[in-house]
Amino acid sequence: MSKVRLAFIGFGNVGQALARLLLRKEAELLARYGIAFQVNGIATAHHGVAVSDQGLDLNQVFRIMQEKGSLNILSNTAIDDIEEFLKISQADVLFENSPVNYETGQPAINHLRTALNLGMHAITANKGPVVHAYFELSELAKAKGKKFYFESTVMDGAPIFSLYRETLPAAQLLRIHGILNSTTNLILTRMENGESFEDAVRYAQSIGIAETDPSGDIDGWDAAIKLAALASVLMEYPLKPQDVEREGIRKIDLQAVEQAKLQGMRWKLVCSAWREGNSVIARVAPQKVPMDSPLYNVNGTSSVVQFETDILGLLTVFEQDPSPDTTAYGLFADFIHAVT
Amino acid sequence: MSKVRLAFIGFGNVGQALARLLLRKEAELLARYGIAFQVNGIATAHHGVAVSDQGLDLNQVFRIMQEKGSLNILSNTAIDDIEEFLKISQADVLFENSPVNYETGQPAINHLRTALNLGMHAITANKGPVVHAYFELSELAKAKGKKFYFESTVMDGAPIFSLYRETLPAAQLLRIHGILNSTTNLILTRMENGESFEDAVRYAQSIGIAETDPSGDIDGWDAAIKLAALASVLMEYPLKPQDVEREGIRKIDLQAVEQAKLQGMRWKLVCSAWREGNSVIARVAPQKVPMDSPLYNVNGTSSVVQFETDILGLLTVFEQDPSPDTTAYGLFADFIHAVT
């Protein structure tokens, strides 16, 4: 049996969690799906690039990463161009998880385009390429008979895109509603326990879920990007993050949180997108959510999405306890879907 | 293009809702999936049997059903044997929704077995065949290169089985947890508004969701059957309804409901199944659910299921507003999955 050859661009927390998951599930992949694999290439930002047509030894790779060494020693040739890296890797599947510019989706879009043009399946956990190039990349994938998948971009690996794609055939999505940004949800949850906005932000930074500059989360950009990705893919409507009406959580102070509590409500950063005539309207804004809403009990870093279709009653999916491991699982599931 | 030929056994609320849905989505099925269909046969309990190899006129069928006439007038020959019906129908797909005996799963199991043996896909909304013959019928289906699907048997068409099958590849299900019986959930919800148990039961009967003898719901049998179906299929463990530890809601009186409320809790009929060594333990029992549980906000006839896997955080799926239309959608989705 021939092995599926894999390449990684970006090998941080998520890439490494994926590699560990692949190793852990190696026997099961073979037994249940007939999939054998080898990793032909890994390109990192700060730890060099390694390629081997015999397959890299992942345990050796982990050791080098841990010692903060360079993967270059695993290759015979030095490679500093990503296109060259992809060509030499001869991979069947690219996992693209490099740092991305959210305003342009680059360089991830270029990486994914190159991979598809070389006949690889292109899988990413980066939202940028979905909001900036979903239609282009999916058409390219289709033309090449390959897959462009991105399950992990919204709700960290909980199967939102594949739920819609695989389990709701011939359903028309009328409305999406949910809580998609973990950082703001964690901040609002902690403020309900009396913590100030500033302290809650610092806490979110301390556990690594908010950036040094937390404005992407707090001002609703991350939520808007995710909502734009959902609308583009599931409603087939090319919505850009800047098309989303957007209000962050800065105006929600402790007093507002306390007042909502007295009313039996909770402040949540709510994302909604719905069809209006031939277009889709989308909004991210703080809302007071009543106790009988499925959004009410979404605590900490959990998230939730609701689908209203022309066919089923309201369908709600909740994810608890996201982590790099769940993001890795989304990539892993995309991989199985692509090659089976 | 050849048309996919369909047969219905049972043509009550659900069968008719499915037929209407097929008509409504006819153009979309063709455009999006390349599926054209015709209904070659309908066998009812009280309105006769019709078969036509040219395809029946569904609008004519609806008219006859509405006038409480007999479908026999649409056929040239009288048919009173189901096996003969299936043979003559020459169908590619059977939708089986006849009245079922829950202790044996019959006659649905025989219908589905016959259909598979004749080379048809076999699709049902009946739980009986899943708990009593899942392993036999899926193996038969596999041997015949056909599908045995039953999405609508649990959570009325919300995609629980296909969610697991299609979106969580290589995940091992460790625990299922949820609220699966609408009638008891509606009764408990109404009791929270001060209605007596007896009145709440009568209300559930008046809107057609509880039977004249409501004990199947109230004593937890329906929940146990659904839990056994989930465990059999998703945990691949042959659990029978009688293997489920089972306690109904009869002991929950208004005082208990009121007391829970004061504690910020709600009584729910909770279903759980989990692995223990090589076996699966399953339990249906009333439990007080705290406010921060995703089960807390499940009101009226809604339902919820949680999956704990070796791979993702807790994944929760919540269905609101079930109806014969949502059950019909489960059958419709099974149909698309089977023939594409």
DSSP string, B264-302: TEEEEEEEEEEEETTEEEEEEEEEEEETTSTTTT--TT-
Contact residues for B145 (Cβ-Cβ < 8 A; gap 6+): none
Give B-chain residues touching A315 at CB under 8 angstroms: 158-159, 317-320
- pLDDT score, position A230: 97
Give B-chain residues touching A37 at CB under 8 angstroms: none
Sheet holding B37-43, edge to edge: B49-51, B37-43, B4-9, B93-96, B121-124, B148-149
Angle between helices A254-262 and A182-191 (to 10 degrees): 70
Judge contact between A94 and A121, C-beta under 8 A. Answer: yes
Q: Cβ separation of A315 and B312 shorter than 8 Å?
A: no
Catalytic residue among A226, A261, A268, A288: A226
- pLDDT score, position A265: 97
User: Among positive and negative, which fits the CA dihedral A279, A280, A285, A286?
Assistant: positive
Catalytic residue among B146, B147, B226, B268: B226
pLDDT tens for chain B, 340 residues: list them: 689 999 999 999 999 999 999 999 999 999 999 999 999 999 998 899 999 999 999 999 999 999 988 998 888 777 879 999 999 999 999 999 999 998 899 999 999 999 999 999 999 999 999 999 999 999 999 999 999 999 999 998 799 999 999 999 999 999 999 999 999 999 999 999 999 999 999 999 999 889 889 999 999 999 999 999 999 999 999 999 999 999 999 999 999 999 999 999 999 999 999 999 999 999 999 999 998 888 998 999 999 999 999 998 899 999 988 889 999 999 999 999 999 9
Burial B65-95 (b: 16+ CB within 10 A, else e): beeeeebbebbeeebeebeebbebbebbbbb
B226 catalytic residue (yes or no):
yes
Return the closest-CA partner of residue A75 out of A89, A87, A91. A89
Q: Looking at the domain B168-319, which fold is it?
A: Dihydrodipicolinate Reductase; domain 2 (3.30.360)
Give A-chain residues touching B325 at CB under 8 angstroms: 311
Q: Cβ separation of B158 and A312 shorter than 8 Å?
A: yes
Both structure tokens of B194: 């001060």
Long-range contacts (CB closer than 8 Å, 24 or more residues apart) made by A202-210: A209/A182, A209/A183, A209/A301, A210/A183
Judge contact between B180 and B305, C-beta under 8 A. Answer: yes
Give B-chain residues touching A166 at CB under 8 angstroms: 162, 166-167
In Å, what is the CA distance from A255 to each residue of A175, A179, A186, A191, B122? 32, 22, 17, 10, 59
In CATH, the architecture of B4-157+324-339 is 3-Layer(aba) Sandwich (3.40)
Q: Cβ separation of B167 and A311 shorter than 8 Å?
A: no
A95-154 pLDDT, tens digit per residue, is: 999 999 988 999 999 999 999 999 999 999 999 999 999 999 999 999 999 999 999 999
B227-282 pLDDT, tens digit per residue, is: 999 999 999 999 999 999 999 999 999 999 999 999 999 999 999 999 999 999 99
Give B-chain residues touching A333 at CB under 8 angstroms: 167-170
Integer Cα distance of B162 and A166 in angstroms: 8
- pLDDT score, position A189: 97
Burial A295-309 (b: 16+ CB within 10 A, else e): bbbbebbbbbbbbbb
- pLDDT score, position B244: 98
- pLDDT score, position B1: 66
Residues in chain A predicted with pLDDT less than 50, given as ranges, are: none
Give B-chain residues touching A171 at CB under 8 angstroms: 329
Integer Cα distance of A334 and B169 in angstroms: 9
How many CB contacts within 8 angstroms connect chain A with chain B? 129
Name the minimum distance, in Å, from the CA of A78 to any CA of chain B.
36
Helix (H) or strand (E) holding A186: helix A182-191
Judge contact between B171 and B311, C-beta under 8 A. Answer: yes
- pLDDT score, position A78: 75
Contact residues for B46 (Cβ-Cβ < 8 A; gap 6+): none
The ranges of chain A annotated as CATH 3.30.360.10 are: 168-319
Measured between CA atoms, the residue of chain A closest to residue B324 is A312
DSSP state of B25: T
Judge contact between B170 and B305, C-beta under 8 A. Answer: no
Return the closest-CA partner of residue A86 out of A38, A122, A127. A122
Measured between CA atoms, the residue of chain A closest to residue B318 is A316
Nearest CB partner across the interface for A158, out of B297, B299, B315: B315
Name the minimum distance, in Å, from the CA of A34 to any CA of chain B.
12
Name the minimum distance, in Å, from the CA of B112 to any CA of chain A.
23
Integer Cα distance of B21 and A100 in angstroms: 44
Name the minimum distance, in Å, from the CA of B211 to any CA of chain A.
23
pTM value surpassing 0.90: yes
Judge contact between A318 and A304, C-beta under 8 A. Answer: yes
The ranges of chain A annotated as CATH 3.40.50.720 are: 4-157+324-339
| SS3 of residue A275 by DSSP | strand
Q: Cβ separation of B162 and A166 shorter than 8 Å?
A: yes
- Beta bridge partners of residue B317, listed in sequence order: A317, B305
Interface residues of chain B, partner chain A, Cβ below 8 Å: 21, 25, 28-29, 32-33, 157-159, 162-163, 166-171, 291-294, 296-297, 299, 311-323, 325-326, 329, 332-333, 336-337, 340
Q: Cβ separation of B170 and A316 shorter than 8 Å?
A: no
Query: How many residues make up chain B in this entry?
Result: 340
